[in-house]
A and B are shown apart, each in its own frame.
Chain A
C-alpha cells in the first residue's frame, strides 16, 4: 500500500523539483543553469523507476538508467570542481524534498515510515554510487595532470651544433627519469649531438635515489657515444651529495649552465671570441 505513495510521487514531479532546487540553492551546492536540465531528467527517470518497480528491485532496467545518468552527473561535477560535500548534498537534498512531499501525501505514520525507508535505501545506494563516480572523476583529472606534467617538463633544447641541454624542473622519480632518459637519448640520436648537458638547478633536492637516476642517465648517454655534463649543482646539493657519500667522480659536474656550455665548447674545440 505504501507503494502507492511512492508511485504517486510522479504526479508531484514539478513540485518536488521546485523544492529540491530550492534546497540546492540554499546549500549552495549547485551552479544553477547547467544543473537544472540534469536535475529535471534525473527526477523524471527516478520517479518513473520508483513507479514501475515500487522501489523493490533496484537492479531493474529503469534504475540502470538512473544510475548511468547519476554517474555522468557526478563525474562531470567532479571535473567542474565541486567539493565532496556539495556532491553528496545533491542527492541528500533530493531525499529531503521527496520526504517533505511524502509526508504531505501520506497521513498514516506506519505507511509514511515504510515509504521513507524504501526511499532512503534507494537514495543511499545512489549516494554511494555518486561518490564512487565522483572519486573516479577526480582520479581521472589527476592522472591526466600527471601525464601532462611529465610531458611538458622535459624539453630537450639544442643549444649549439652538437650540444643539447635538458633542464630538469621538479623532483626526479623513477618514472620521470625514464621519460627524461628516453627523450634525451632520442634527441641525441636525432640531432647527432655529442654532448648533452643535464641541468638540475630546478631539482629541489638530490637524495641517493635521484643521484642514482642521474648516474644512470649519464651512463646511458655514454653508452650511446655522447658525453654528459651535469650542471646547476647548488651548494646545498653539493653538501647533500657528499654527506650521503654519493660518488659522482666519474661524471663531469659544473655549477652553472654557462660553465657547462664552456666545457662543451672546449671539448668540441670551439672558442667564442668577442668581435672587434
Chain B
C-alpha cells in the first residue's frame, strides 16, 4: 500500500508530501506519524506540502488533528510551503487551521522548530528570521 515516508532528522520528523493526498492516505499518515513520534519521542514535526495543489476540508482537518495530537505528545508541528491557491481555498472554506503553525519554506520551518524547542517558547508565532 502507498505510504508517505516519514524521515527522522535528529529530534525532528520530516514529512514531505509529494503526491496529492486522498483520504485513506491522509488517515494512514496521521496514524503513522503519531506512532513514529511515540517511537523516537520526537520534539517536532515538519510537514512540507509545497507539492500539494489541492487541500479539501477533510485534509484540512487531518492537518489540524496531526497538530493537536503531536502537541499532546509534546511535539510541535510546522506546516511549510503552502501554495497561495491552497491558502486561499482553505480560507474560503473557513478553515484557518488554528493551532497549526506555518512557515514559508523548509529552512524557515526548521529555524522555527529549533527556536521553539530551545527557547521553550510555546507562544504561537509564524515569523522567525533570527540567524542566531
A224 interface neighbour in B104, B129, B130, Cβ under 8 Å: B104
Interface: B97 (CB within 8 A): yes
Stretch with Cβ within 8 A of B (4 or more), from A43-51, A79-87, A179-187:
A179-187
A90 to B: closest C-beta gap in Å: 48
Contacts of A195 in B (CB 8 A): 127
Interface: B102 (CB within 8 A): yes
Please give the residue numbers on chain B whose beta carbons come within 8 Å of chain A beta carbons, in ascending order.
Answer: 79-84, 86-88, 90-92, 96-97, 100-105, 108-109, 125-130
The distance in angstroms between the C-alpha atoms of A221 and B127, with both chains bound, is: 11
The CB with the most chain B CB atoms within 10 A, among A188, A189, A224, is that of A224
A4 to B: closest C-beta gap in Å: 70
Contact (Cβ within 8 A) B90 A220: yes
Contact (Cβ within 8 A) A269 B104: no
Contact (Cβ within 8 A) A267 B127: yes
Contact (Cβ within 8 A) B102 A194: no
With A162-B129, A225-B126 known to touch, is A216 a contact of B92 (CB < 8 Å)? yes
A198 to B: closest C-beta gap in Å: 14
A225 interface neighbour in B91, B104, B130, Cβ under 8 Å: B104
Contacts of B104 in A (CB 8 A): 188-189, 192-194, 224-226
Contact (Cβ within 8 A) A182 B84: yes
Nearest chain B residue, comparing its CB with the CB of A193: B104
With A194-B108, A223-B82, A225-B109 known to touch, is A216 a contact of B103 (CB < 8 Å)? no
Contacts of A227 in B (CB 8 A): 125-127
With A194-B108, A223-B97, A225-B103 known to touch, is A269 a contact of B130 (CB < 8 Å)? yes
